[in-house]
Amino acid sequence: MNTKNSGRDRSRTTRTSDSKKTKGTSATFKPKKKEASPFSKGFKKEDPKAVKKTSPKPAAKVAEGEEAPKKEISARDKRKYIDFKSKVKKGDPLPSFNEHEVRLNKYLSNAGICSRREADVLIETGVITINGEIVTELGYKIKPGDVVQYDGETINAETKRYVMLNKPKGFITTMDDPFGRKTVMSLVRKACRERIYPVGRLDRDTTGLLLFTNDGDLAKKLTHPKHKASKIYHAELNKPVKKEDLEKLIEGIDLEDGRTNFDVAKFVKDGNPREVGVELHSGKNRIVRRMFEAMGYEVVKLDRVQFASLTKKDLPRGYYRHLTEKEVAFLKMS
């Protein structure tokens, strides 16, 4: 008997049996799902205390003929859907001044005592008193009603304000009217906390540029005849104006309060003979209307376009704005 062949046959049979076992196990084997590592991206650790979300309950069926119950909307939800429209009224586009307290060095600088740096030195030396008490704190803030004294003299520091209004028709130029008529002050009352005054005046039916300020020196300069602040008006008459009459108005005419003349008087560019542009330096009351009335004309519309170096360009009727530093500087130089 051949032992070599029998040994080979045994090995073959063991191999085939082992292969069958592996095939049977591979058919039933299911690999486990890999668990996410706590160090991998997007890993979320389940909170054992978390409550599972329950599916919303189906809405109750409404019987035929019955109205569905209206859902109550809270006031908070209503505000989410209401469109906010800021109603801008005449006289309202203004900057708000919430600075009720002013630093002491700025207060002294605004009063014209010295610069802010020099004011710090004065404060440290103890020559400034507030409400009778010496203050040496550099960051001290002045409150409304505080009495500030320097070397025993009371300081009244008020920030200078310069406001330009495009006056509408129907407002009189006065601080207060005993008859209850509309005044220009109602249009600029929110412009600033300081009390401002109109420079010059425009009559009730005249529109256009009107300046307000609390700078008494500048107001006196602009209204005094010596400084001759120019004014330009756009006038619309009740009938065509003759060229000869414009020349007479430039030469000068006699009125009840003296002789007056226009510096310049021209027809407007569109060629309408009823509309005239005039320039003058006189500050007499209703001077433009009175001059045309003396020549047999009636002024239907009168609009002040320019005052000194200021123009009302891009300023809507009934609104105002604060002057820029450059505009204030030109006014003081003129």
Domain ranges of the chain: 102-155, 159-228+312-334, 230-307
Could you tell me the sign of the dihedral formed by the alpha carbons of 12, 15, 21, 25, in that order? negative
Residue recorded with tokens 């310049």: 264
Q: What is the pTM of this model?
A: 0.58
Which of the following is catalytic: 18, 203, 217, 257?
203
pLDDT tens digits for the chain (334 residues)? 444 455 555 555 555 555 444 444 444 555 555 555 555 555 555 555 544 545 455 555 555 555 555 566 666 665 554 444 444 444 544 444 445 688 888 888 777 677 788 889 999 999 999 999 999 998 899 887 888 888 888 887 677 899 999 999 999 999 888 999 999 999 999 998 788 999 989 999 999 999 999 888 888 889 887 777 899 999 999 999 999 999 999 999 999 988 999 999 999 877 789 999 999 998 888 999 999 999 999 999 999 999 999 999 999 999 999 999 999 999 988 7
What architecture is the 230-307 domain classified under in CATH?
2-Layer Sandwich (3.30)
pLDDT, residue 73, reads 64
How far CA 229 is from CA of 86, 162, 222, 232, 267, in Å, comes to: 39, 17, 6, 10, 22
Q: How far apart are CA 198 and CA 324, in angstroms?
A: 18
What CATH topology corresponds to 102-155? Answer: 3.10.290
What CATH topology corresponds to 159-228+312-334? Answer: Alpha-Beta Plaits (3.30.70)
203 is catalytic: yes
pLDDT, residue 86, reads 43
